[in-house]
Amino acid sequence: MMQGRRIDMTRPATWEFSAFSQNGEDGVLDVLRKELTDSNRYFVEIGSADGMQNNSSWLVVAEQYAGLMVEGNSKLVDRAKRLIPHYSVGAECVNMFVNSNSIKALKDLALHSDPDVFSLDIDGIDYYVAEAVFDAGFRPKIFVVEYNSAFGPERSITIPYKENFSFGQEHPTRLYYGVSISAWRKFFDKQGYRFVTVDSKGVNAFFVNPNSFDASFLNAVAGSSFAENLYQLRKFRGAFSEQFKLIADQRFVDV
């Protein structure tokens, strides 16, 4: 799948492939990592599930990266601990429910504050956790976050902070979670990061620290600014504007 791509370095949609990731993230990260001007071959992923379907598995299995796989579900962590050591002695699986208050403990565990890749996927208070990540002193070279396409491309919003947030319990539609793409772009712009693209399935957004890339590469990239989440589109049989109507009476925070 990786070798079958016809890569256009200006079009991130052509970079995508999935070995262990769900939405082409492996391919986007593959291209971005190869363009780094410096590398420590380290990652941090929050929301790593069982270690076999996430954004860091390819780094561990195929690239022999070291790093932290962090997951709040203890059963998934137990499975990851049985699998991951067969592929890498440098990858650690950590059982931790992540919120703003637990990032300092995560920072103490990490071997690098500037990992090549930092992936955040907790389907909830991601915005506030990302704030805590930077406040703790992390400066990842590549930062991957999930956005909620139901919020649309223009609204700059997230949900209110709730320490024990669980999107499956907050609203029956499971549409009330996370951050809009516009809010993420504002957030990362304040951190001095550059937006690269969203994936073609409308799930992930990719940002980079421009100090770790050649400016000519970043300036030539013409990424997609928004895409519908295909799972949500199929489930609700309506675009983001119709999906948002289902949760419009909920509380939101303007960013």
Residue 120: φ, ψ to 5° = -125, 120
Q: Quick check: 186 pLDDT over 80?
A: yes
pLDDT for the residue numbered 32: 98
Query: For the chain, what's the residue count?
Result: 255
Q: Quick check: 112 pLDDT over 90?
A: yes
pLDDT for the residue numbered 5: 86
Q: Quick check: 166 pLDDT over 90?
A: no
- Residue 39 makes CB contacts below 8 A (sequence gap 6+) with 33, 116, 141
Inter-helix orientation angle 181-190/126-135, to 10°: 10
pLDDT for the residue numbered 226: 98
What number is the average pLDDT over the span 196-201? 97
Q: With bands split at pLDDT 50, 70 and 90, how would you rate the model's confidence at 66?
A: very high
**Percentage of the chain lying above the pLDDT 90 cut:** 87
Q: With bands split at pLDDT 50, 70 and 90, how would you rate the model's confidence at 163?
A: confident
pLDDT for the residue numbered 87: 77
pLDDT for the residue numbered 253: 98
Average confidence score pLDDT of the chain: 95
What number is the average pLDDT over the span 50-72? 92
Q: Quick check: 131 pLDDT over 90?
A: yes
pLDDT for the residue numbered 170: 92
pLDDT for the residue numbered 164: 86
Cα–Cα distance, 47 to 125 (Å, whole number) = 12
Q: Summarize pLDDT for 35-45 with one digit per residue, the tens.
A: 999 999 999 99
Q: Quick check: 1 pLDDT over 90?
A: no
Residue 127: half-sphere exposure toward Cβ, Cα within 13 Å: 24
pLDDT for the residue numbered 34: 97
pLDDT for the residue numbered 203: 97
pTM to 2 decimals?
0.95
CA 231, 234, 238, 242 torsion-angle sign: negative
pLDDT for the residue numbered 3: 76
Q: Which of 225, 55, 204 is nearest to 123 (CA)?
A: 204
Q: Quick check: 140 pLDDT over 80?
A: yes
pLDDT for the residue numbered 236: 96
Ordered structural domains, the chain, with CATH: 12-254 (3.40.50.150)
Q: Quick check: 222 pLDDT over 90?
A: yes
Dihedral of CA atoms 171, 173, 176, 182 in degrees, nearest 10, equals -170
